[in-house]
Amino acid sequence: MNEKIREDWKKVKIFFHSWLQWIPLVSGLRYASGKDYAESGKEFAFTWTVSILPILASVLIELLTVGRAPSSSVNLLHMFYANLHTGEVFIYATAILAPVAFMMYKYNRDEKRFDDHLSFFFVLIVTIGLSAVMFGLQRTGVVKNPSLLDVSGLVLYLLALVVWFLSLIYDNVRLNYNKAKKDEEDKLFDKLHEFEGGAK
């Protein structure tokens, strides 16, 4: 029974990977292992939590000032959003994507392959460009529709988070592959050294 389940799961993975390779931004995930996802998730969670510490501190100070806990999670989310001005969302989105742009530059500089680099480049240009334009329009008062600003800010911010997380996975795939390759070369070198030592 377990053998049949493993075979079925293997077929599902093959089918999934065959379709995944045609989807922009995520086609390279077919090379990712559970370890790659885990390491990327930890890095993503830690960095993102640190990046929003000022907002969390503002919410905490507001709670301590008010002197009572919010009545529901909805109120807590409202307090979180109230401490984040609309224009700042566009700055956050741009800041999140800056390391991704530099990572792609390093890959190009070192002549290393970055899967889906054209898709990432296109999304980076569009997201950073729109974030900069929307921030400028909001700050100059050209666009005053709060609903438009809120929705566009949220979409761009979430897109930036997704692209950043995917780039972390791709980078960990390469790092773990290089490490495994180096470990294998070291083992071969050690065996060769032992063989030469025994021959003497």
Q: What is the pLDDT of residue 54?
A: 83
Other Cβ atoms less than 10 A from the Cβ of 159: the count is 18
Question: Quick one: pLDDT at residue 129?
Answer: 93
Report d(CA 55, CA 64) in Å as an integer. 14
What is d(CA 197, CA 200) in angstroms, rounded to the nearest whole number? 5
Residue-by-residue pLDDT tens, the chain, 200 positions: 566 676 666 666 666 666 666 677 777 777 788 888 899 999 999 999 998 888 888 878 877 776 555 555 546 666 666 666 667 888 889 999 998 988 888 888 877 777 778 888 899 999 999 999 988 988 888 888 888 888 888 899 999 999 999 999 888 887 665 554 554 555 555 555 565 555 55
Domain extent listing, the chain: 34-84, 85-173
pTM listed for this prediction:
0.74
DSSP letters for 48-96: HHHHTHHHHHHHHHHHHHHTS--SSHHHHHHHHHHTS-HHHHHHHHHHH
Q: Which pLDDT does position 176 carry in this prediction?
A: 64
Q: DSSP letters of 129-175?
A: HHHHHHHHHHHHTS---HHHHHHHHHHHHHHHHHHHHHHHHHHHHHH
Of 140, 185, 155, 170, which Cα lies nearest the Cα of 43?
A: 170
